[in-house]
Structure 1
Amino acid sequence: MNFTFEVLPEERIECLRESCNKLMAFQKSVASIRPELFDTMNFETRLLPSMEKAIHNYTVVVKNNDEIIGYVYSNISPKDTYSNEFATFFDVTSVNKPYVGCLSQFYIKEGFRKYRIGSRLFSMSLDWLKEFDEIEDIFIFVSNGNSNALEFYKRKGFNISHDILDGFITVLRN
Structure 2
Amino acid sequence: MNLTYEIVSDNDIAVCRDICNELMGFQKSKATITPELFDGMNFETRLVPSLEKAIHNYTVIVKDGDRIVGYVYSNVSPKEAYSNEFATFFDLSSVSGDLVGCLSQFYIKEEYRQYGIGSKLFHMSMDWLNQFEEVKDYFIFVSNGNENALDFYKRKGFIVSHDILDGFITVLRKSKS
TM-score of Structure 1 vs Structure 2, range by shorter chain: over 0.9
| Map of 1:81 onto structure 2 | 81
Give the Cα separation in 2 of the matches to 1:72 and 1:162.
Answer: 23
Gaps of 5+ in 2: none
Q: Structure 1, residues 76-106: CA drift from partner, whole Å, max 9, x if none?
A: 0000000011000000000010000000000
Q: Distance in 2 between matches of 1:164 and 1:17?
A: 26
Corresponding residue of 1:117:
117
- Quote the Cα distance in structure 2 between the aligned partners of 1:14 and 1:94: 34
Report the TM-score when normalising by structure 2.
Answer: 0.98
- Report the Cα distance in structure 2 between the residues aligned to 1:146 and 1:38, rounded to whole angstroms: 14
In 2, Cα distance between equivalents of 1:78 and 1:134: 11
| Residues 107-159 of structure 1: per-residue CA shift (max 9 Å, x gap) | 10110001110000000000000000121000000000000000000000000
Give the residue type in structure 2 aligned to 1:87.
A
SS at match of 2:49: helix
Map 1:21-170 → 2, pairs under 5 A: 21-170=21-170
Q: Tell me which stretches of 4 or more aligned residues in structure 1 moved more than 4 Å.
A: none
Tell me how far apart the structure 1 counterparts of residues 144 and 96 of structure 2 sit (CA, whole Å): 28
CA distance in 1: counterparts of 2:36 and 2:100, whole angstroms: 28
Amino acid aligned to 2:15: C
Name the CA distance, whole Å, in 1 between partners of 2:89 and 2:38: 17
Q: Which runs of 5+ in 1 are unaligned?
A: none
Q: Distance in 1 between matches of 2:102 and 2:2?
A: 29
Pairing of 1:1-12 with structure 2 (within 5 A) = 1-12=1-12
Alpha-carbon distance in 2 for matches of 1:13, 1:107: 15
1:11 is displaced (CA, Å) by 1.1
Q: Kindly provide the amino acid, as one letter, of the partner of residue 133 in structure 1.
A: E
Code of the residue aligned with 2:20 in structure 1: it is C
Which amino acid is the alignment partner of residue 70 of structure 1?
A: G
